[in-house]
Chain A
Amino acid sequence: MSIRRFALAALAGLSLCAAAQAQTLLLNVSYDPTRELYREYNAAFNKHWQAEGHDPVTIQQSHGGSGKQARAVIDGLKADVVTLALAGDIDELYKLGKLIPEDWQSRLPQSSTPYTSTIVFLVRKGNPKGIKDWGDLVKPGVEVITPNPKTSGGARWNFLAAWAWAQKQYGSEDKARVYVEQLYKQVPVLDTGARGSTITFVNNNIGDVLLAWENEAFLALKEQGGENFEIVVPSVSILAEPPVAVVDKNVDRKGSREVATAYLNYLYSEEGQRIAARNFYRPRNEKVAAEFAKQFPSLELVTIDTEFGGWKTAQPKLFKDGGVFDQIYKVR
């Protein structure tokens, strides 16, 4: 008897689940450091969405390395929207999966990047090695922690930021290359992802300086033990632009285009921008940016488009097999 009752209850539970499934379900496939940002944003969006007279929407988040996440979507993960670390990864959704049109990046304002970030240094309290700018990183005895650009989106921004500074400083690409080579000679450990590098630097106490996403550096300060570190802002860095996109093929099949589009558009609203800023991403909206001006130090930010000719040029030249990064680590 009791087993039968249990079975009935289980069935009832299942059908309830099915009913809940019928409600709109949105899957946001993102990269690692946006976990906190989207947790806050999802709640705010849901409120806004319902205030507009819609049914509540259940939003699921998925996080991981940017490249791995893009691959999961190409291989069939039914993401409604992707919010990844680099445009290069979303490009692959078009190139390999034909899930989105080629001009996806022009569909939303600011090349589909509602918030930006940059690369800064995290050093140990009191800055014992006196690190102020990129040039100090190649001084003898300074150990630099950065993840592997082959496996980490953040690490690619690190690489580009260092290169951009050196190009400005020394005025030629060859010299920039020499600088970057020297920089990677001072790297004792190449982790596979940005979080791994943060653990190496913060928890395992390796290295003198961590090249990190600005939001990740702020987060490290906020965490327990954050009083042992400080942020150093270099004179020049790169404007890291993590883009977002609706995955056309998936939303059309699921009938979720309207809510998916609204979800991304709301990122550009004042509230969306404020949530981004509260989670240490630089807002695009100038009014909101002014509100948070104190939080984000100003520095010269170059973009990948003007300095490197966009991802389509930079990716094969620097990071592809046999590219500049591989030449630095040439195995003889």
Chain B
Amino acid sequence: MSRRISPVIPGFGLTLGYTLVYLSLLVLIPLGAMFVHASQLTWLQFWEVVSAPRVLAALKLSFGTALAAALLNGVIGTLLAWVLVRYPFPGRKVIDAMIDLPFALPTAVAGIALTALYAPAGAVGQLAGEFGLKIAYTPLGIALALTFVTLPFVVRTLQPVLADIPREVEEAAACLGASPWQTFRHVLLPALLPAWLTGFGLAFARGIGEYGSVIFIAGNMPGKTEILPLLIMVKLDQYDYTGATSIGVMMLVVSFALLLPLNLLQRRIATP
């Protein structure tokens, strides 16, 4: 009876070879080339490039706004996913399809649209201005643009997981006398957390490197609203390839250092 199920795709060797070649051409070689290019500098020169006050200011801004956006999406995205999965309502399919729009839209178009809306002369910007709040051309505007482009990550990773949790689980919890909060805290949250962390991590990582949508709303003032990817562009526009790749390498290392623990944590939660 215990017949080994042969895999659909044949040949481990072939499959692994294909995977490695594909991954190398698309990911490993380009990223490796970045390190090679940056290695033209000595450690001291590299350190001077990445520790310049302007680079540090941009680093803080990029990571801070990306974190804020990912956290915000962690809350709002969860709510959206919950509503879309649990409550049937007219137009649900349409709204569900709209969640993907930030992915489909060219990010620059999104940036221009957001800027037009949130600039001091824009519809929302004007209203916010009356309360003394500036949105466009401030870090707030940057976080807003990042929230927009990273919204689908949390929603789309949570949706299938939520759909898999049968309603009976909640009912059972209620029958056993759990309050809604207890049900959420002890029944739903543990099941959702790994997917939530994945969505959060993806949104965070994407936000750090996002260029197109942010560049219009950022204002781009050095030291204040200048994001890291723009600094890379600035270096490239001066034909400073090594300087640009140095910043790129630093971003890569910092991002990896943040994503790795997140990944490990998620694995630990998923396999108790």
Stretch in contact with the other chain, from A13-21, A191-199, A287-295: A191-199
Chain A CB within 10 Å, residue with most, of B219, B223, B235: B219
B265 in the interface (beta carbon within 8 A): no
Fill in one digit per residue for B223-256: 1 if any A CB lies within 8 Å of its CB, else 0. Answer: 1000000100111111110010000000000000
Contact of A199 among B112, B120, B234 (CB under 8 A): B112
User: A65-B237, A205-B119, A206-B119 given as contacts; is B230 within 8 A of A192 (CB)?
Assistant: yes
- Contact (A329, B234) CB under 8 Å given A92-B239, A203-B116: no
Q: What is the 8 Å Cβ interface bit string for chain A, positions 294-332, against chain B (1 contact, 0 not)?
A: 000000000000000000000000011100001001111
A150 in contact with B53 given A189-B219, A191-B220, A206-B119 (CB within 8 Å):
no
Please determine whether B119 and A320 come into contact, CB atoms closer than 8 angstroms: no
A256 at the interface (CB under 8 A from B): no
B121 at the interface (CB under 8 A from A): yes
**Residue tally, chain A, CB below 8 Å to B:** 30
Within 8 Å CB of A332, what residues of B? 53
A-B contacts counted at CB < 8 A amount to: 76
Asked if B234 contacts A150 (CB within 8 A), the reply is yes
Q: Known contacts A190-B220, A196-B215, A206-B120; can you find 10 more A-B pairs with CB under 8 A?
A: A67-B238, A67-B239, A68-B236, A71-B237, A71-B239, A150-B234, A150-B238, A203-B116, A204-B119, A331-B53
Q: Which residues of chain A are within 8 angstroms of B119 by Cβ–Cβ distance?
A: 200, 204-206
Instruction: A151 to B239: give the CA distance in the assembly, Å.
Output: 11
Q: How far is the CB of B224 from chain A (nearest CB, A)?
A: 9
* Residue interface mask A69-97, B partner, CB < 8 A = 1: 00100000000000000000000100110
B residues adjacent to A (C-beta < 8 A) = 53-54, 57, 112, 115-116, 119-122, 136-137, 215-216, 219-223, 230, 233-240, 243
Contact A96 B234 (CB under 8 A): no
Q: Which residue of A lies closest to B230 (CB)?
A: A192
Name the residue of chain B whose CB is nearest to the CB of A74: B239
Considering only CB atoms, which chain B residue lies closest to A153 in the complex? B237
Q: Do B223 and A331 have beta carbons less than 8 Å apart?
A: yes
A190 and B230 alpha carbons, distance in the complex (Å)? 11
A residues 220-254 near B (Cβ < 8 Å) are none
How distant is B204 from chain A, measured CB to nearest CB, in Å? 24
**Residue with the greatest number of chain B CB neighbours at <10 A, chosen from A68, A189, A326, A332:** A189
Smallest Cβ distance from B210 to chain A, in angstroms? 14
Collect the chain B residues with CB atoms within 8 Å of residue A65's CB: 237
Cα distance A191–B214 in the bound complex, in angstroms: 11
